[in-house]
Structure 1
């Protein structure tokens, strides 16, 4: 048996937003035995890795994009199921809650099941449940299935990262991690754009059917084209679960877990607020709304380029600066809706918010690694749990306090981000 190659240094993994969510969970499952199962194939340097990377990126888009799919469709879902918009907003919360819990429960199962098999199962079940959502008549049934949908989809991320570690040569992994984790963040944009187009042209249920078909196609392709893993039944997930509990009880990590709550809470809440409160009448103009959502893509591309010079700043201070910048740009965006009234300026400022968030998450991973000492994998997994848990509250808060308008809701998100920045700073100073 040959030992598993060492996990790449953390600096290689800071190239984009959601790397902190899945990379260390993959490390956790790999490092328990420090060996690969017998018969596990090792990649040759000349192998064609691009098709595999494309499939992993497609799977990432399909799995995580399901969380954001209902955001442009909340009014339509409410009208079709006989529920209010506030009840429909829980479709986002239900998925995020299932995803957060499933990430912890299913992530360590990869070595026992096999990474390719677990990815295919996760996407296959997600596809079936996505199609089922399109058939349900009541919001109560939709919410139940959305929880199960998030739970199933959560297994893809850790397995994809572990697959890269197992089958990609070391000098290709940084690029592979960058592509796949960029897909997780890009799914927030692409899922909303696709859902808006299909919802405007036909019906919100068509968006879910289309998403189910695309996810099913990714399932088949991954099941057939990726390399087969040999499951190792000797690996016990209990050690990974124990590390998570230890990390959850570490006082030095508490401020960083609080930061995690604020990041996706504000990010997801921002897009929900745009949809439900209609600042500058942008939600009533499909073309402007599409441009607004798509404006986040350049920020996602730019973030990896800025991380290299930005990484010279210590991780804790870098995190505090990024979260503060997100709060500042969000405040400017909200102010511009009343003081300037320019959709173009509003779009640019929202892109800056996305860029700041894209810089904050990998900085948080570095800070978690520095604070966790010898329990990096457990600490990173718990950070990821709190990150997604924060997103569960965003849409209901927006729906429940929609009377505040976009400016009032932005104040809520700005305050949350500033509190997160203070927590990051205090955690760094007290270390």
Structure 2
């Protein structure tokens, strides 16, 4: 919570009138908008290669299945980076970590097109993932410490929905940019955009202040205790299923999409863009959804995603039917993500920052394993893969029920 200087009652009243969220807090609109848009750019790098599997495979003389390691390499490094980014934000301040992290992500994103073979591409993607990991934990810290308490649920829902929307928006942009000038164009476009985001972050976000961890080591100290907490372990396991199933399904669309969709660039573009209404609707419904207890909202949302995945296996070759069930699946994930953050933060107690960093790590461990799950099941065809994805979401729902019973 930010520290506020002592002021007179009249000054406090004036400040409160000017800032409806309360004197001393950051303007919630600008802060939320910046973090949401920047999150789309940064988190979208996880998914940027999914529409590029074919073109990259041809460029590197490799199979599309082998190129999925460029997604997995990024994701594993990204998840590992969260373990360091959270403590660094606690020690040095979230705004500083966000700005420097965005500059590092800019450079590493621009380096990926320099790869001349798959091994170099995977290595550069891993470095990019480590740099990109600086953003999410620091963004959650900004919300927790600079946004007024009554505005935090909306800000949190917008930012987490932005993280999920990145999977759709950046895939659509990546596919469009590749069709214009090749796969390298996608990275060459997003790199400068993240540099621009760093400039805005420096200007818009509140200056770092308040208590700081004495050392990075002290900021790490809470993690072993958190990993020994049964409720948190169950929540982290449920978190792995969230993006694990999501990314596996979208990888399956690229690798083994159903007849009438696979290889049809127009249909693939429509499928990726068709989930966007769910990304917009869920934040608008944040108030109503927030009144549903987390112990009900979280497993119900994961169950919805699982049911949608199961329905996708029977969609046949209809792009319209598949798009409709993917819309429901994305809605379920968009509802579940903030519910998981809330549950993890509450279970973390005074070590909330470390708990949320572990949550982000678990989420993207799942995301990094998703492409390999789809690739390993490619011989099962699209329907077989998405049935397994449905089981993954069902397991997440069961784990979340078990967590709330502890």
Query: Over residues 288-323 of structure 1, what are the superposed CA-to-partner deviations in whole Å (9 max), with x where a residue is unaligned?
Result: 222211121111122234454444554234322221
2:384 is aligned with 1:405: no
Alignment of 1:118-157 (within 5 A): 118-157=97-136
C-alpha deviation, 1:261, in angstroms: 1.7
CA distance in 1, matches of 2:73, 2:164: 19
1:395 paired residue number: 371
* TM-score normalised per structure 2: 0.87
CA distance in 2, matches of 1:293, 1:359: 19
Equivalent of residue 162 in structure 1, options 141, 151, 154: 141
CA distance in 2, matches of 1:404, 1:355: 26
Alignment of 1:32-431 (within 5 A): 46=18, 49=27, 50-170=29-149, 172-224=151-203, 226-229=205-208, 235-337=214-316, 341-369=317-345, 371=347, 375-429=351-405, 431=406
Q: Which structure 1 residue ranges, 5 or more long, are not aligned?
A: 6-34
Where 1:235 maps in the other structure, the secondary structure is: coil
Query: Over residues 338-360 of structure 1, what are the superposed CA-to-partner deviations in whole Å (9 max), with x where a residue is unaligned?
Result: xxx42212101110001111112
C-alpha deviation, 1:277, in angstroms: 0.8
CA 1:259/1:311 → structure 2, altered by over 3 Å: closer, same or farther?
A: same
C-alpha deviation, 1:69, in angstroms: 0.5
CA 1:141/1:180 → structure 2, altered by over 3 Å: closer, same or farther?
A: same
CA distance in 1, matches of 2:68, 2:38: 25
Task: Check whether the contact 1:246–1:378 (CA below 8 A) recurs between aligned residues.
Answer: no
C-alpha deviation, 1:116, in angstroms: 2.7
CA distance in 1, matches of 2:88, 2:126: 19
Where 1:279 maps in the other structure, the secondary structure is: coil
CA 1:57/1:263 → structure 2, altered by over 3 Å: closer, same or farther?
A: closer
CA distance in 2, matches of 1:305, 1:225: 24
C-alpha deviation, 1:230, in angstroms: 5.7
Task: Check whether the contact 1:328–1:414 (CA below 8 A) recurs between aligned residues.
Answer: yes
Task: Check whether the contact 1:81–1:137 (CA below 8 A) recurs between aligned residues.
Answer: yes
C-alpha deviation, 1:104, in angstroms: 1.4
CA distance in 2, matches of 1:178, 1:425: 21
2:23 paired residue number: none
Task: Check whether the contact 2:115–2:124 (CA below 8 A) recurs between aligned residues.
Answer: no
How many residue pairs match? The answer is 391
Where 1:130 maps in the other structure, the secondary structure is: helix
CA 1:308/1:208 → structure 2, altered by over 3 Å: closer, same or farther?
A: same
CA 1:234/1:317 → structure 2, altered by over 3 Å: closer, same or farther?
A: closer
